[in-house]
Every structure is written in structure tokens, then in C-alpha cells.
Amino acid sequence: MRWTMVGLLASALVSCGSEPYDVLIVSGSLLDGSGSPAVVADIGIRGDTIAAIGALSGARADVLVDASGLVVTPGFIDIHSHSDYALLVDGRALSKVHQGVTTEILGESGSAAPVLPTTRAARERSLAELGLELDWTSFAEYFARLERQGISVNVLSAVGAGDLRAGVVGLSDREASPSEVAEMQRLVAEAMEDGAIGVSTGLIYVPNRYASTEEIVALAQTASEHGGRYFSHIRDEADALESAIDEAIRIGREARLPVHLFHFKFSSVRSRALHEVSPFLQAVRRIEAARAEGLDINADVYPYTASQTTLNMRLPEWSLEGGGEATAERLRDLGLRPRIRQEIEAHFDKGIPGGSPDTVVLARTPFALHEGFQGSTIEAIAFEMGVSPAEALMELVEKAEGRASGIFFGIREDDLERALALPWVSIGSDGSALTPTGVLSRAHVHPRSYGTFPRVLKRYVRERGALTLPEAIHKMTGLPASQLGLSDRGRIVVGAKADLAVFDSGRLEDHATFDAPHQLSTGLQWLFVNGEMVLRNGEHTGALPGRVLRRED
């Protein structure tokens, strides 16, 4: 049998045997995803499955990987991703696979499907900016499109309640009628039958923010009836963090389903000093009390002290009704613009990190004449424009028709480290599968799309000691797999799917920064997805073996 020799072998460890493996990884230090210490062993892969673990030096294989001195782990599971459309632009998922990611969870608050008649035109405009054509309406059709094009990572998706509300209720601040709630429930059921894993909300965004708790419970109950889960970017992550946590707990209890909180944090550095007890610690206590009472509630975190979202979030709440285009129209209204400016200035004057002109950076704008400002603070942009920071912010939002995004520096490092250490918190990037060139590199993105997982290992394991290596790997593999109900991924065990990462734990490193984000991580030697080699000696092989992992009853 012909061998493909991968890596540098000091001696031939494979000899004749009756049942050859497709891939044999030898002498690696295995961290199996459970949080247990490493064990040196070999792994034999047949097809897409781990067939054997142990001393396999007498086996034959087509592909031999010498992992001496290297760590072998399950492929990382990015439990919080926005690659819904990026994977259609470039299925290689370069920014993710170079981190070791083999599975991504899509559909935070908004999702690729369903596409409803009332929102189709807006979706088509957004996709056109990426050079994509909208040729699906349901999850079944979207999943088929992904599989037809080919992807290097596995994907799952929740159905976004925000898109359902936009399509059924609209973008206005009003209560959904009983018939509208019933229609949204029907759409959730259809998505679940197509393979979605649950329902998600982004309760700071229009129109999610207009949904009552009762409306969300109704949608979550439908997901629960189909074995689904509830995912949420909760209603507030600053001074009302505790009440936002309480709402998520209530939804989980009343709908009787597991709850996952996206990017668990307290994002108001200055206001923390106004509380006798840290709101973050109070939120932790609430979650742990609910867990002790039997609710399956957990969360993820990304390893950065800055967030990224729409720039509209720094405008008055009342000005956001109707969505981005309606907000832009209000900014063009000479009767309303002074009021908006005054409220922005009042907020800026508070000097709250993440809400002041020097701590907010323009990340992306579709307005060509403002693209040169991407990567600059609102303060610097205002200086260049020769206007006040409030005027600069309004100009950026208005010209972008409400579709500009920003990076907000407002999270405390000690809160981040506390979150990382919690046993029920996994790692999620809140980023997308990007490439350093082409259409996916045009925006000035948050570095988390390129560096989340290596950054945890470098900064919070090797440098700061906030986690041990086995703990960190568990939070990237076995823990998110259990949070998602994935029984055949996230662990190195016989019978599991062969999603595997091989790397030097001391050299896996992120290079993406807030100033220069489009830089691939380095140090990952080999990456296997469903038994196929996606990275070889740190280079993408061009393989697209990823699958859509549909929820099954």
C-alpha cells in the first residue's frame, strides 16, 4: 500500500496489518476534550470516524502524521459565529480553520433562513454587497446551497427570531397579535423540521427589542417541542444585566428548554463603580442559582475587552424604530436631527468606555466615501471631518443607511477572566469565517474572527494562567458539544467523528489586532474535518469536507 508521508518521521512506525487506516496520527499528546490531562497515544481514522486509540504502531495507513511533541485535540467548536453568508463567499473558512475550528454555530438573532416575502428585497441588497445571489427561502434550501458549494467546516444554525418578527410583524415598536405569534411559531416549527437546532434572539436590536417576554416564550416553546434550544444575545449587558439574565431564565423555565447566553459580559466599565456589588458577579449568582434548581443554562465568551455591533447602538433608542433606513431618514429630518444630536452629546459627555468618542471605532461602512475612516475612532473621524463627534457619528450612520458597524472598548479584563474560568462558559468568537484578501477583507473587522481560540491559549493559558491547557481545550470542544447536544463531536473517543487539530501548544498564536485584523493565526500543523485533511503543515489543502449538522428528533 502506498503511503502519503506527512511530517518528518524519525522511523517507520507503521507496518503491515489486516485492517489499514485511512489516517494514522502517532505519538501525539492527546487532550480528549473532557478536561482531563494529556495522554500520549496514537489515533487511527477510517472514513470520517475515529476507529482506534492507543498503541497502534503495528498498523498500516494511507496517511501517516507524526505528532511527536505536539498536542492532538478535538477540532474546536465555535458556538457563536456569524459565517452564515461568508461561507457562501468562500467555503474554505480560512480565518477559522487556521485557529483550529471545525464546527460553527450560525443564526444569532438573525439567520439565513427563512426568507419571507416582506424582507426579501432587503436581504437581496445585503447579499449583493458580497456578490451573492439569493436563491433560497427555507433552511432546507439554504443548507442545500452550503452543501452544493462545499465548506471546510461543519455548521449548525438556529432560526433567528428577529428575522421572523421583521417578516411577520415588521420593524415597528408594537406588540405582535395572537395570529402573528402563531405564524412565527409555524415558521419556527418549519425551521426545526428542516434541521435548525433552536431559536435565537438579539434583544438589543430592531425588531428583536420590541418582542415581549411572552412572545419569546411562545417561540421557544415551539422550539422545545421539536427538541430545540434557546440562544440569546440578552436584552441588556450593562446596568440592566441582572434583569436581562432573569428574563432568559424565565424563558428557559416556562418553555422548558436549555438556554445559552451569547458573549456573557458586563459591558459598562465606568458604571460598575456605582454598584456595591459587581453586576457581573450578581449575574453569575443568578445563573448558578438557576442551574442549581435544574435549569440547563450556560454561556460563551470571547477573549477580548471590546465588542462589535451596529453603530446605531449609540443613537437614542426612539430613533431606531423601523430599522436602519428609517433611522437614516430621521437623521436627514432637520426637525429631528438637533434632538438626536443633543441626546448623543449627553451620552458622550458621560465618558463611559465603549460609549465615548475615543472608545468607539468605525469598523465597516457600505458608503464608499467613508471607507477610508474604517479603523479610526469617532473622535479622530470628527477631527478629520471638522465637526463635533456627535455630528460625525450621525453622518456615518446616515450615509450608511443605518448599516455601519463599530468596535466598542468597554469590557473589564478581570470580568473577562472570571467569565473564562466559570465551568459552564465555553468559547465563542462572535466572528465570521473571513479571508485576508477579496470581498471578505474589505471591512475593518474585530480581530476575534481571526484570533479567538489561539488568543485564549496564548494570553489566558500561557501568559496569564487563568486556565490550564486541558481546561481551555475543554471549553473549546467537549463543553460546547455538550451545550449543543452533539454526542459525536468535541471528544477524542472511538466512534466520534474525526474532527481533529494537531499543533504545538506553545506556538499556536493569534496575529490579528484591532489595528490590523486581517491576519491569519499560525502554529496549527494539521486539521482534519470528518477525517479529511483541511490543513497540512499549516497550509489549506483546498478540501471542503464540512457538513451541515441538522438537528434530529
The dihedral built from the CA positions of residue 417, 419, 424 and 426, taken in this order, carries a sign that is negative
Nearest to 108 by CA among 359, 429, 357: 429
Q: Which residues pair with 275 in a beta bridge?
A: none
Q: In this structure, how many other beta carbons lie within 10 angstroms of the beta carbon of residue 292?
A: 8
Instruction: Please state whether beta strands 532-536 and 539-540 pair in parallel, antiparallel, or not at all (unpaired).
Output: antiparallel
Which grid cell sits at 366?
Answer: 457600505
Backbone phi, psi, residue 410, to 5° = -150, 20
Cis check for the bond before 517: say yes or no (omega within 30 of 0): no
The predicted-structure confidence for 101-134, as pLDDT tens digits, reads as follows 999 999 988 999 999 999 999 999 999 999 999 9
CA-based radius of gyration for the chain: 23
Return the amino acid letter for 246. Answer: D
Nearest to 231 by CA among 211, 212, 216, 243: 216
| CA–CA distance, 117 with 168 (Å, rounded to integer) | 10
Nearest to 283 by CA among 424, 484, 473: 424
pLDDT at residue number 13: 37
pLDDT at residue number 552: 63
Which grid cell sits at 64?
Answer: 501517516
pLDDT at residue number 412: 86
Which grid cell sits at 446?
Answer: 474585530
Q: Which residues fall within 8 angstroms of residue 322, CB to CB, at 6 or more apart?
A: 171, 172, 206
Q: Name residue, grid cell 473571513.
A: 434
Nearest to 251 by CA among 193, 207, 211: 211
pLDDT at residue number 276: 53
| CA–CA distance, 211 with 203 (Å, rounded to integer) | 8
The predicted-structure confidence for 236-294, as pLDDT tens digits, reads as follows 998 889 999 999 999 999 999 999 999 999 876 554 454 556 788 899 999 999 999 99
Mean pLDDT of all residues in the chain? 93
Encode burial over 486-499: b for 16+ CB neighbours within 10 A, e otherwise. Answer: beebbbbeeebbbb
| CA–CA distance, 31 with 28 (Å, rounded to integer) | 9
Tens of pLDDT along the chain (553 residues)? 233 334 333 223 333 345 899 999 999 999 999 999 999 999 999 999 999 999 998 899 999 999 999 999 999 999 999 999 999 999 999 999 999 999 999 998 899 999 999 999 999 999 999 999 999 999 999 999 999 999 999 999 999 999 999 999 999 999 999 999 999 999 999 999 999 999 999 999 999 999 999 999 999 999 999 999 999 999 999 888 999 999 999 999 999 999 999 999 987 655 445 455 678 889 999 999 999 999 999 999 999 999 999 999 999 999 999 999 999 999 999 999 999 999 999 999 988 888 999 999 999 999 999 999 999 999 999 999 999 999 999 999 999 999 999 999 988 888 899 999 999 999 999 999 999 999 999 999 999 999 999 999 999 999 999 999 999 999 999 999 999 999 999 999 999 999 999 999 999 999 999 999 999 999 999 999 999 999 999 999 999 999 999 986 4
- CB distance 153 to 93 below 8 Å: yes
Which grid cell sits at 506?
Answer: 506553545
Which CA distances in Å does 126 have to 95, 123, 366, 401? 22, 5, 10, 12
Which grid cell sits at 347?
Answer: 451620552
Q: Which residues pair with 300 in a beta bridge?
A: 426
| CA–CA distance, 63 with 45 (Å, rounded to integer) | 10
- CB distance 267 to 234 below 8 Å: no
Q: Which residues pair with 45 in a beta bridge?
A: 23, 50
Q: Which residues fall within 8 angstroms of residue 137, CB to CB, at 6 or more apart?
A: 113, 114, 115
- CB distance 303 to 416 below 8 Å: yes
Nearest to 209 by CA among 259, 169, 178, 179: 169
| CA–CA distance, 14 with 273 (Å, rounded to integer) | 62
The DSSP symbol for 370 reads: G
